Amino acid sequence: MTARMRNMVTALLCVIFFASTASAARQVPAERGDSAVYLDAELLLREPGSYDEAADTIPTVVVDENSPYGLDGKKEFNPDPTRAVWLSALFPGLGQVYNRRYWKLPIVVGAFMAIGYGTSWNNSQLQDYTQAYRDLLDSDPTTNSYMNFFPSTTTEESLDKTWLTNTMKSRRDFYRRNRDLCIIGLVGMYLVCMVDAYVDASLAHFDISPDLSIDWSPAMMISPGDRQVSLGLNWAFNF
């Protein structure tokens, strides 16, 4: 073989070697899941497949502790105790509605209606007996409203004026006392609504989880006096 032929064979082998090396470098498949990845010197390609990259990742949500919104995007209800008191002072029951304790509204309305009716009825009875007592004490024979408390067949001459005067006076005092107690009850109910609205708003986020309990367990204890071992009980309040 001549030198010229040897050079041609050597050149041909070099071309075949470099061509095979470049082809191997361009296509190196790496299987991951159900998709193939081909590595190149400058490019990374992924063939389309059923691999879901979003499902293979875990989202991380960071929420500021001072943010009024929770993880669901809804604003957490946080009533203001001061506002609840002022609303209740403006009109009884508004504080309970503001705190979203709607079931308390019928109780408040019913209590005020009952006490208000008692105040009105006792006051009307007080006025009737007061007028009757005044008519008994005056000297005008035409003023006899006290006869309205008796049947129409009853005559004034058949009544004992001393007994009648004492009765009208005691009834007047009785209804006056009941009216005053009802007024005190109205004021007390008004204050109770304000206090309830304030406490309810303050305890809106009070921890009522199952951890509010008593943990107890048996224990071995040593008496400080005689240094004797005895059985005992340990407990702890969680709050």
Of 31, 35, 56, the closest CA to residue 47 belongs to 35
Q: Please provide the average confidence, as pLDDT, over all residues in the chain.
A: 77
> Side chain identity at 206, as an amino acid letter?
F
Residue-wise pLDDT tens digits, 178-207:
999 999 999 999 999 999 999 999 988 776
Q: How far apart are CA 118 and CA 175, in angstroms?
A: 10
Please give the share of the chain, as a percent, with pLDDT higher than 90. Answer: 37
The dihedral region occupied by 205, where left means phi > 0, alpha psi between -120 and 50, and beta the remainder, is alpha
The pLDDT of residue 154 = 84
Distance (Å, rounded) from C-alpha 47 to C-alpha 50? Answer: 10
pTM: 0.56
Q: What is the CA radius of gyration of the chain?
A: 47
Backbone angles phi, psi at 150, to 5 degrees: -120, 160
**Residues 145 and 129: beta-carbon distance below 8 Å:** no
The C-alpha atoms of residue 189 and residue 229 are separated, in whole angstroms, by: 58
Per-residue pLDDT of 13-58, as tens digits, reads 666 665 555 555 454 444 444 444 444 444 444 555 554 555 555 5
Instruction: Choose between 144 and 212: higher pLDDT.
Output: 144
Residue 175 CB neighbours (<10 A): 20
Phi, psi of 174 (to 5 degrees): -65, -50
Highest mean pLDDT: which of 13-17, 23-27, 103-107, 235-239?
A: 103-107
Q: Which residue has the tokens 């009648």?
A: 164
- Please give the Cα distance from 69 to 143 (Å, whole number): 74
Taking the C-alpha atoms of residue 19 and residue 13, their distance in angstroms, rounded to an integer, is 10
Region 167-180: mean pLDDT is 95
